[in-house]
Amino acid sequence: MSCVTALIHQASGIRQRGPNRVITPTEVSFDTLIMTIVLTPYWSNGVQKLKVAHQPPAKPKHGLTPPTLDDETHATRCLLQLRSKDKNIEKYIYLSMLKEQDPNMFYRLCLRYMSEFTPIIYTPTVGDACLQYSHIYRRPEGLFISIKDKGNIRNVIRNWPKLDEARISVVTDGSRILGLGDLGVNGMPISIGKLSLYIAGAGIRPWSTIPICLDLGTNNQKFLDDPLYLGLRRKRAAGEEMTEFMDEFMREMSLAFPKLLVQFEDFSTDAAFLYLSRYRHQYPVFNDDIQGTGAVVLSGLINAARLSSQASGRPITDHRILFFGAGSAGVGVAMQLMSFFTLNGLSEEEARRRIWLVDSGGLVFDKRGKLAEHKKYFSRNDYEGPPITDILEIIDYVKPTALLGLSTISNAFTPSVIRLMAALNPRPIIFPLSNPVRLSECSFHDAVEHTQGTVLFASGSPFPEEEHEGRKMYPGQGNNMYIFPGLGLGSILARATSVTDSMVEASSLGLAGALTEEEHAMGLLYPRIERIREISAHIAKEVVRAAQKAGVDRSTELRKLSDQELLEFVQSKMWNP
């Protein structure tokens, strides 16, 4: 049998009938053989080979659809059906169905109406989808690996139907979903939603994504008592049991998917830091809560600090940043924001001294008592007084130029807090970054009203525009969606062996520099989300360059490309529906 005939048999799904008998082309219908076979080259052990490229699903044959069905009119029909739903969770369910039945239409609409779709397929609606997951579940959509699979994870992973296509996976254990706590297996929509944004935002191919939920149990008694709960009915694994499970999981993932990038999502604080540190130099892996959030906030801060310093006349290095919230996201962002100061000439130690943390016990300082390991780096040794727990007293002591909220405490930034920030700064930087909206530290309306319109604002979830004294003001949204699609795409194209700090920093600087002149004139801190594909391509190019400088790129042929050629290469690899 010729190679081409064999490939046609493979592509056509032809199977043997009986012992040692293969159907010949003459036994296959004419319609089966009249098809385009696309062969793509790949390297294996130094030898170039060919494989059949992924084929999009064929359109239904004549008579199986209404006579005048056309894509553009159907797009309008789908959009009208979506907008007819009066609850966001119903919109989420509808879009989930559309994505399964007609992914091309789903992503076409998503790209066209990005600002409308993003809050439905991700925050804030995805939080409600997680809370209700066991009640609205309709079909499998991803890979579930439980603590009971320990010792057998290899076989579970290899049940995934597209082993050779896999390039990126978002992995959660459901232990700290957004600001909603331990949701167990109900955290799966986080992985699904994040990968939908990778596809829409960076053109990652849909069939190369793997949403994964690790079911290690849950400590949420409400779910353990729920007869519809889809996860294991046991308390959450921890300590050595969990680490042994994670070691096996990461090892088997790397063996089954040698070209895979892994993104950890919504692990509990201690686990997030532990497993990022444990695996980041062994595998291509990053944690979006720690690194992605830090990168997107750094980008917004760069633009906000420039405007704030212009108003105050103070040097850019004089900024003082107060974090209200010291979990994995808060400390991760704080670590990333050190780059803001080091890029402007300060030493690492000088940068560290420009950052203060506040947790549930108040200001974090050395003599307060025992601290969690991840808080110690930013703990103050220059304060020896009694514990300060009142946020107004802390602000008065620190006199920050920027107040960042990652506490998931709703309305923690009271009118008094906002007014004090405005009294200290002609243009105060206030970033309430907690998700979803109902857990945000303050609203854009309150920030505008109580600063008399001087605030430089970015939030984790979307807020509407505000009118102030005849001027339209636009809220920034420090949405990780600006960062992770381009960071992921660049890491995949570079075939990075690890995701370095320099690559994360490159994604942040790429985003900060992506504002157009019109967006600058509008006072925006982030570009419009409708430009996400353009932004992601630019970020991916910068990430590839950073991977090359760090020497972690395996696609070494990309080194010889000019920046323009590399950008065109990145764009050519982005899937379009």
**Which among 218, 209, 208 is positioned nearest to 238, based on CA atoms?**
218
| Tokens linked to 497 | 């062996």
Q: Are 407 and 434 in contact (CB under 8 A)?
A: yes
Bridge partners of 430? 403, 457
Q: Is the dihedral of CA 534, 535, 540, 546 positive or negative?
A: positive
Three-state secondary structure call for residue 483 = coil
Residue 176 assigned ligand-binding role = yes
For 226, half-sphere exposure in the C-beta direction (CA atoms, 13 angstrom radius) is 20
Distance CA 270, CA 35 (A): 53
Secondary element (H or E) of residue 264: strand 261-264
Distance CA 491, CA 477 (A): 24
User: Residues with Cβ < 8 Å from 453, sequence gap 6 or more?
Assistant: 468, 469, 471, 473
Distance CA 519, CA 300 (A): 13
Distance CA 516, CA 522 (A): 10
- Our CA dihedral for 301, 297, 510, 519, rounded to 10 degrees, sits at -60
Neighbours of 375 (CB within 10 A): 18
Q: Are 529 and 118 in contact (CB under 8 A)?
A: yes
Catalytic residue among 92, 99, 107, 194: 194
User: Residues with Cβ < 8 Å from 414, sequence gap 6 or more?
Assistant: 442
Q: Is 122 a catalytic residue?
A: yes
**Which among 450, 449, 454, 478 is positioned nearest to 466, based on CA atoms?**
449
| Tokens linked to 192 | 């699904």
Per 3-state DSSP, the chain is made up of helix, strand and coil in percentages (nearest 5) of 50, 10, 35
End-to-end Cα separation, the chain, in angstroms: 36
Three-state secondary structure call for residue 41 = strand
| Tokens linked to 209 | 């994504």
Burial code (b: 16+ CB inside 10 Å, e: under 16) for 452-471 equals: eebbbbbbbbbbeebeeeee
Catalytic residue among 92, 107, 122, 474: 122
Furthest-apart CA atoms within the chain: distance in Å? 89
Distance CA 40, CA 17 (A): 29
Residue 197, phi then psi, degrees to nearest 5: -75, -30
Residue 289 assigned ligand-binding role = yes
Q: Binding-site residues for a divalent metal cation, please?
A: 265-266, 289
Q: Binding-site residues, please?
A: 176, 265-266, 289, 435, 479
Q: Binding-site residues for (S)-malate, please?
A: 176, 435, 479
Give catalytic residues, as residue numbers.
122, 194
